[in-house]
Structure 1
Amino acid sequence: MGIIIGSLLGYKFGGWFGMLMGAWVGHTIEQSITGGRAGDSKKQTQESFFNALFLSMGKLAKVDGKVSPSEIERTEGIMQHMKLNQEMRQRAINLFNQGKDPSHNIDSALSQFGRLARRSLSLKQIFLEMLIDVAEADGMISQAEHRMIEQTCRLIGYPVQLLSAMMKMRGFRSAGGYQQNQQQGANRQQSRRPTNRNAPFNPYQVLGVGESDNKTTVRKAYKRLMSQHHPDKLVSKGLPPEMMKVAEEKAKQIQLSWEKVKDLKGW
């Protein structure tokens, strides 16, 4: 309820960015009142995250008819970032292949992850971000892929309205499926390169803000993203330890983007 109220108020006063910010504030307030997620084993949540993620990646890659080389490459890149040992790597591959099988239903795995994650909005968001990374590997999210991601939101208990806001902030516009703006697509490809101060990337795109936004708006976006993607915080909520490196790189990219915007604006 806190997420719903916060997102509605945020959208009214701040558009898509306000919706995400409001949802996060509402989620935080609700957690402080209810005491947050309690009683579930962190290990169970980590196992569920891992299983649901690679099953979903396999299903998503196959949902529009065939698995593209770019989708395989993107999934492989995620596994490399996770630095999986041989046993865990094989397990991830097996789950991916199970997900590709049209006869294999992954709904129960997603529902289980949603139950274990409960009110952990940030954990569910990073889960969806990784699915979107696979879906957009070729710069286009098809209607079938988008429908599946929306269904995933419902099964794990993540508001679909926030998914739409997330997609718009990532530079996607509706065009049959979700077609990424050409320039923003190029910027996102650049932003996936190793995060160092000499690497070209669009810091506004990483932060989900516009070049004309004021310092207060950009700072709020930066703080919200850092809170959502803080590695230790995510692991404490059930992010698999193997995902720590991915979360760390994302947090570094967010920090670097904030520093870059401050330099560009002279703040």
Structure 2
Amino acid sequence: MSIWTRITEALAALAKGEPLSVVFDLLRAAPAPERSVGFTIAVLALGAKMAKADGTVTRDEVTAFRRIFTFPEGEEEHAARVFNLARQDVAGFDAYARKIARLFNPEGRRICADDHHVLVDILEALFQIALADGSYHPGEDAFLTHVAQEFGLDDRCFTIVRSRLVEGAPRDPYDVLGLPQGANKEQARKAWRELVRDTHPDVLQARGVPPEAMKLAERRLQIINEAWREISAKEAA
């Protein structure tokens, strides 16, 4: 059974006319919450809200989910239904962000730059949607900053995610690898290897990232490797 079929079933379980935000409450109350379903709904719902953050909803932003999710034949309409329900829902994006945070971080702990957490994966997915039209609007930056705060991500974590994905954003290779300034080459090598390992599809799937979303890691891995090469070259000089 595909993730999109499970999402459709989750939606069908709701009484007619109930908002999509109720889905998060059902997932959280389930004996074994569907983490992959929760991840996908989170990205679609917040992505739908964010599509208006720069004042317009472009075709590129609507279709950006194809950069993150691989849709099996015949499943596109299920994803489109979630997207459209999220756009119609009266709940604000901050309400969605809080529900997502409770689903994936029920203890409410602070998430730092060196954490490998599904909420960081969701934030990275939202960045990719924001960048789908070829620009990064101040309204999108404000939206994502607020989402990160609702998720419990610290400021450095947000800065690192942005630097990994936004062209032209200030990018320090030590920040990208989650290292303090002045870390030596061996520390950098260890951090780089851990991040590469953390980007492996099996590890992402274990955190709740669905197999359909494995395109998510491609950009992150590219920037991680560039940071390691930059530090290595600096140390060799």
Determine the C-alpha separation between the residues in 2 that align with 1:62 and 1:133.
15
Instruction: Tell me the residue number matched to 1:232.
Output: 202
CA distance in 1, matches of 2:91, 2:74: 22
Render the CA deviation track for 1:25-53: whole Å, top value 9, x for unaligned. xxxxxxxxxxxxxx986642222111110
Q: CA deviation at 1:92?
A: 1.8
- TM-score under structure 1 length normalisation: 0.56
Q: CA deviation at 1:55?
A: 1.0
Q: For 1:44-55, what aligned pairs fall within 5 Å after superposition?
A: 44-55=34-45
Give the structure with the larger helix fraction. Answer: 1
- Residue 214 of structure 1: how far off its partner (Å): 6.2
The CA distance in 1 between the partners of 2:31 and 2:208, in whole Å, is: 8
- The residue that corresponds to 1:32 in the other structure is none
User: For the residues of structure 1 that align with 2:187 and 2:214, how far apart are their CA atoms?
Assistant: 28
Structure 1 gaps, min length 5: 1-38, 173-179, 186-203
Please state how far the C-alpha of 1:56 moved relative to its aligned partner. Answer: 1.1
Say if 2:50 is the partner of 1:63.
no
Find the aligned partners of 1:266 and 1:49 in 2 and give their Cα distance.
Answer: 39
Q: Distance in 2 between matches of 1:246 and 1:128?
A: 11
Aligned amino acid, residue 186 of structure 2: T
SS in 2 for 1:63: coil
Cα-to-partner distance string for 1:98-132 (whole Å, 9 max, x where unaligned): 33347453444432321222267421111111111
The alignment status of 1:242 with 2:212, answered yes or no, reads yes
Distance in 2, matches of 1:61 and 1:166, equals 19
Give the TM-score of the pair, scaled to structure 2. 0.62
Q: How many residues align?
A: 196
1:42 & 1:241 partners in 2: Cα distance?
A: 19
Q: Given residue 124 of structure 2, which amino acid in structure 1 is its aligned partner?
A: E
| Aligned twin of 1:170 | 164
Paired AA for residue 101 in structure 2: G
The range that moved more, 254-263 or 47-56, is 254-263
The answer as to whether partners of 2:185 and 2:232 remain within 8 angstroms in 1 is no
Q: Output the aligned Cα RMSD.
A: 4.0
Structure 2 CA distance for partners of 1:213 and 1:56, relative to 1, 3 Å: same
2:93 matched to 1:93? no
Contact 1:114–1:156 (Cα < 8 Å) also in 2? yes
The whole-number CA distance in structure 2 between the counterparts of 1:213 and 1:69 is 43
CA contact (8 A) 1:74 1:137 kept: yes
Q: Cα offset for 1:263?
A: 9.5
Contact 2:127–2:165, Cα closer than 8 Å, also in 1: no
Unmatched 5+ stretches in structure 2:
1-28, 110-114
Residue 56 of structure 1 contacts residue 106 of structure 1 at CA under 8 Å; is this kept in 2?
A: yes
Whether the 8 Å CA contact 1:62–1:100 is kept in 2: the answer is no
CA distance in 2, matches of 1:59, 1:234: 25
Q: Relative contact order (C-alpha < 8 Å, sep 6+): which is higher?
A: 2
